[in-house]
Structure 1
């Protein structure tokens, strides 16, 4: 009798940060990089301020998932080499959202998104909303380094298939 064993391991890893001349911190390489919350936690929640921001991001993402949101895109100094970011920037895919269930805080942009920051530690925009300065949808705007205008990366987190989100929704 012959035993065949297969070891199939699929690993999705957040890419290493890269320098951009003129930017104070290393950033994600250009592109939209898939990630899970477990990977975001392992890579970016490495000190107390970053941990607090991660918890807020996760709570906000669970709230978005509960109304049908399928993707969150993560940007800002949180996904950079900045040791202590003040917040994170995120945008969410409005496709499939039940807007009757959407927490109004995700549409509250008053006072520099102060209510969003107070509740979740970061800012949220619909991914298709046009950013006024460059005239690009937020998903595209987030892929431009604010210091140099060069391309950089963002993270895409699938809320519909993320184990961390699924466990929290079932509670």
Structure 2
């Protein structure tokens, strides 16, 4: 279950409380898919997560203005757990960070980073970097999605097989 957003001093929008909060894509749709822009972003997230599952990825972590109270988020940020991912099956778009990750943004509406790589400006792995609110420096939460067993992804994969 996704917890209620909380105010964080210095943040322009309410954010998730500190911690990693497990949720399904269906729960994310209910909590954050309340306007057309958000539904478009969510569709791209599902597309990206489905491609990652095909490569053996089991988890993603969702961050960015999408999981805040910002009414019209610009995008979302996600990082993916590289454990079990077969590089031979990984779509090259997930390792293309050129031009501000333009190919990822064009295809999925957001950005995907391996959770273990270091974000250059902070020196933190993306999984940790995502848990710091960028305006205030305070701790905030992110959402973990077990995509390998998520009902939305399984429906998508079943549909793609038919």
TM-score (norm 1): 0.92
Distance 1:139 1:75 in 2: 10
* Aligned-pair CA distance for 1:73: 0.2
Distance 1:160 1:114 in 2: 26
Question: Which blocks of at least 5 consecutive residues in structure 2 are unaligned?
Answer: none
Q: Secondary structure at the match of 2:6?
A: coil
Residue in 1 that maps onto 2:51: 63
Residue in 1 that maps onto 2:124: 136
Distance 1:97 1:26 in 2: 34
Q: Please point out which of 67, 77, 80 is paired with 1:79.
A: 67
Matched positions, count: 159
The answer to whether 1:17 aligns with 2:8 is no
Question: Which blocks of at least 5 consecutive residues in structure 1 are unaligned?
Answer: 1-12
* Aligned-pair CA distance for 1:54: 0.3
More helix by share: 2
Q: Please point out which of 94, 108, 114 is paired with 1:120.
A: 108
Residue in 2 that maps onto 1:88: 76
Q: Please point out which of 13, 21, 25 is paired with 1:33.
A: 21
- Greater gyration radius: 1
Q: Secondary structure at the match of 1:61?
A: helix
Superposed CA RMSD in Å reads 0.6
Distance 1:45 1:108 in 2: 27
* Aligned-pair CA distance for 1:133: 1.1
Distance 1:60 1:152 in 2: 24
Deviation sequence 1:56-111 (CA, Å, 0-9, x none): 00010000001100001000000000000010000000000011010000000011
Residue in 2 that maps onto 1:6: none
Q: Secondary structure at the match of 2:149?
A: coil
